[in-house]
A and B are shown apart, each in its own frame.
Chain A
Amino acid sequence: MKILNLLRIAWKAIILNKMRTFLTMLGVIIGVAAVITMLAIGEGSTQSIKEEISGMGSNMITISPGAGMQGGVRTDPGQMQSLKLSDYHAIKEKSSLITHISPQVSGNGQAINGAENWPTSIYGVTPEYLNIRVLELEDGSMFTDAEVKASSKVAVIGQTVRENLFSTEEDPIGKMIRFNKIPFRIIGVLSPKGENTFGQDQDDVILAPYTTVQKRILGINYVQSIVASAISEEKAPEAVNETYSILRKEHNILTGEEDDFNVFSMDELISMFNSTSEIMTALLVAIAGIALLIGGIGIMNIMYVSVKERTREIGLRLAVGGQSMDILVQFLIEAILISVTGGLIGVSLGITATLLIEHFLNWPTSITATSIIISFTVCAFTGIFFGWYPAKKASGLDPIVALRYE
């Protein structure tokens, strides 16, 4: 009953000072909205990176030539020729944790179909490449192991290549194109995959047997990298270790000597990106936290001024029978009402801002319940904490002094 009256008094004070209330709330509103929006952006980008990477094949393992030494001079890993076809065969035969494996050689060049031409990349692989990279065929078929063995001049093209070399009504299957003057017969078209996290167009590719690319296009006999997929995402780290030991034996690397190759799984890539985006999220949270703190100080400021301004009112309340506890509770209720209402408005503003950002800027966002709960709780607590001090001060006033305050 009494608390109800105090609530009524506090409510009255809030609505009688709309401007002051609004300004106090503004700090809280902006603080909470900032926390929610920034966390949503941070969380959204983390999630989208995760999705992209698993779309590339989350259990994928890549083996690339490593920093090696040639006569004491360190060489650019890209120039290294330390991966051989024999390595590919060795892993394929000996590994128990790998399901699919394919060597990979690639080159850039001009693809030509009649009058149309398009600069693109050609990847020399085995049919298993489709499984490793989680690619699907929209039309036609993948080349076979026999075609790999025979170094057939057949190719599977991505959507971007198809769009640039053929008109929409034209069926590319069976057509001949030339890549760096070498003719290829198109036997399949890949389903569209879109851009990856790094902004690369994953549809701007031509796949051909690695043997053909090695001999006809690049004129090499080593492989640039080997891609494989582990039997499961969980087994990927084990598969990486196993591959290390197979290749070290294959390359006759003694204990203590540096590897001339690298093996890494998507897992490592994911955790690398996670730590980057975690740092970003932490930064965003720190900024938002500062906004929230300033909001809290705003509450304290206004509550403090309001206590000073209302000294005579407090004196009067004490004179007509208000106890110091009543005054304390009244001012605390004011602080709580302001911060809770501000918090609620902040939550809805934060959600709206997030949706607008997603809609207009096309940024990936993800609003989590945690971010709402955390920001709201923090805001309520700063409001109460910063409201406490002025309230305590108000309740300790001497009624005689307060009544005479000018």
Chain B
Amino acid sequence: MGQETVEALRDVSFSIAEGEFVTIMGSSGSGKSTLLNILGCLDQPTSGSYEIDGLNVKDQKPNGLAKIRNEKIGFIFQSYNLLPRTSAIENVELPLLYNSAISKDIRRRRAIDALIRVGLEERLHHTPAQLSGGQQQRVAIARSLVNDPVVILADEATGNLDTRTSYEIMALFQELNISGKTIVFVTHEQDIANFSARTIELKDGNIIRNVQNHDIMLAAEELESLPKENI
């Protein structure tokens, strides 16, 4: 199998300030996954530089990258990626297990705090199988909050959820943003992007749009206007 060199990203340059809520949009093949991997320190750019929290990622060795991921980044995935047969608390504790500076008691307290913050105080000991999709994503959000990261990276975090649950999750993201969290949200859905303050759009590895959103929709309000669920 020949390896073809593909330039996934070209001349991409932007900065995200503390406390921003940015959406990265693009169709598949636009390079948004590559960008997310670089932002998440899962991958290194072949050229150019990336700084997070004043730290240049370019010179980091794999273990250094792991440490940055552990301390500065909170990941949220489309398919939740929770550990099966493991309680919500233990799932949320996971990132802290790889940080030896945090004691068992602090780890537990922070996991519970994070779960309370996402509204799952009643579900602390439930396993993923006992939770709905929305609740599972809330556990994943709690997990991304537990290490108090400088940025939360969400990859199609609402991709597996119905509209109503998506809006609930977006309302939660907006709430977190208001409380000061920096959020980078990768999606291909325009209505999701409307909830963020800035949209960066990629096409064929280039930034084609990088605009402030002056008409931010509030997910909580949109939720009200949705037709009531028929049960």
The answer to whether A and B assemble together is yes
Interface on A for B, CB 8 Å cutoff?
1-2, 5, 8-9, 12, 16, 312-313, 315-326, 399-400, 403
B77 neighbours in A (Cβ, 8 Å) = 403
Q: Across the interface, do B75 and A319 meet the contact criterion of CB distance under 8 Å?
A: yes
Interface string of B30-54 (1 = CB under 8 A from A): 0000000100101100000000000
A5, B100: Cβ atoms closer than 8 Å: yes
* Distance in angstroms between the alpha carbons of A247 and B143 in the assembled complex: 95
Contacts A5-B100, A16-B85 given; indicate if A321 touches B70 (C-beta within 8 A): yes
CB pair A323–B66 under 8 Å, yes or no, is yes
Judged by a CB distance under 8 angstroms, whether B62 is at the interface is: yes
Q: Is the CB of B62 within 8 A of A320?
A: no
Contact A8 B97 (CB under 8 A): yes
- Among A5, A9, A319, point to the contact of B42 (Cβ < 8 A): A319
Which of the residues B85, B98, B100 comes within 8 Å of A320, measured between beta carbons?
B98
The answer to whether B98 touches A326 (Cβ under 8 A) is yes
Enumerate chain B interface residues (CB-CB to A < 8 A).
37, 40, 42-43, 62-63, 66-67, 69-71, 75, 77, 81, 83-86, 90, 94-95, 97-100, 143, 147
Once the chains bind, are B66 and A16 in contact (CB under 8 Å)?
Answer: no
Q: Is the CB of B62 within 8 A of A324?
A: yes
**CA gap between A1 and B77 in the complex, in Å:** 29
Q: Can you name 8 A-B residue pairings with CB atoms under 8 Å? A: A12-B90, A16-B84, A315-B81, A319-B69, A321-B70, A321-B98, A322-B66, A323-B62
- List chain B residues, Cβ under 8 A from A400: 37, 42-43
The one of B40, B85, B97, B100 that contacts A319, using a Cβ cutoff of 8 Å = B40
Closest to A313 in B: B83
Of chain A, the residue at the smallest CB distance from B36 is: A400
Write out the residue numbers on chain A whose beta carbons fall within 8 Å of the beta carbon of B69.
Answer: 319-321
Leading 8 A-B pairs by shortest Cβ distance: A321-B70, A320-B95, A2-B100, A321-B98, A1-B100, A323-B66, A5-B97, A316-B81
Complex Cα gap A313–B94 (Å): 11
Q: CA A403 – CA B155 in complex, angstroms?
A: 12
Contact A317 B94, CB 8 Å, known A2-B100, A12-B86 = yes
